[in-house]
Amino acid sequence: MEQKEQLYEGKAKKVYATSDPNLVIVDYKDDATAFNGLKKGTIVGKGVINNRMTNYLMKKLEAEGIETHYVEELSERRTLVKHVEIVPLEVIMRNVVAGSLSKRTGLPEGAKPKMPVLELYYKSDELGDPMINEDHALAFGWATREELDSIAATARKVNDILTEFFASVGVDLIDFKIEFGRYQGRIVLADEISPDTCRFWDSKTKEKLDKDRFRRDMGGVEGAYHEMMRRIGLKE
Ligand code: UDP
């Protein structure tokens, strides 16, 4: 598939047009940001890892009946995906208290809610992605009732599948962020699933194996990303 003009550049990825208007190419960068872009840096090799890990997980979810935007891995950093219209919502699923939920509730990191918690945030860099609820999404036209129902059901199913998979490789899936797109009238899972967008803790030691090592200046950032590839069984 021929790569054409750049359509978009985000914080971690670039998107290019192709000769097929229904398909685009995503190109993963090593650039890392945190705190709504206030902290900037580079995680060497991250683009390759996030591309390959996302594709591996998207294929696994497809095999379980979840439609994703994944089409074909083109190179170590580039993937052909369906050209979706992104729903302007970040969907966060939480199995264990961490990060902003710990700040908001006063509960310690590591506390276990009675059930997985789904949260919605409005995708807006200018506003710093504020947390919203379903009424806001409906009232302001960001998604329809049917879309929200599909998104919530899919997010919970993704959580079940990924939690079980990561547990099998000795990793606790603490929380993660996913995004959805509209494609030919359907809601499909889009964007990425990687150590940038998930919290992964070693099941035994509770060592952090994700982007929190970058956010919190803990060191060992690249090593954690490589360790997650090794756990999943992806050769580098
Ligand atoms: N997350 C993300 N992008 C965002 C905000 C959050 O990928 O813009 C992920 C984050 O990596 C974590 C989960 O969503 O796995 C929950 O994040 P939280 O709300 O605790 O915010 P953070 O501590 O990342 O600011």
pLDDT tens digits, 139-161: 999 999 999 999 999 999 999 99
Find the residues whose C-beta lies inside 6 A of ligand 1. Answer: 90, 92, 98-101, 129, 175-177, 197-199, 211
Q: Pick the residue whose CA is nearest to atom 13 on ligand 1.
A: 176
Query: Per-residue pLDDT averaged across 51-80, rounded?
Result: 98
* Residue pLDDT, tens place only, 156-207: 999 999 999 999 999 999 999 999 999 999 999 999 999 999 999 999 999 9
Strand ranges (E), the chain: 3-9, 13-18, 23-28, 31-34, 39-42, 70-73, 78-82, 85-86, 89-94, 117-122, 131-132, 171-183, 186-190, 198-202
* DSSP H or E segment with residue 224: helix 221-232
* Residue pLDDT, tens place only, 117-130: 999 999 999 999 99
Ligand 1 centroid from CA 70, angstroms: 22
String of DSSP letters for 29-89: -SEEEETTTTEEEE-TTHHHHHHHHHHHHHHHHHHTT--BSEEEE-SSSEEEEE--EE-SE
| pTM for the structure as a whole | 0.97
Residue of 203, 168, 174, 171 whose CA lies nearest to 112: 174
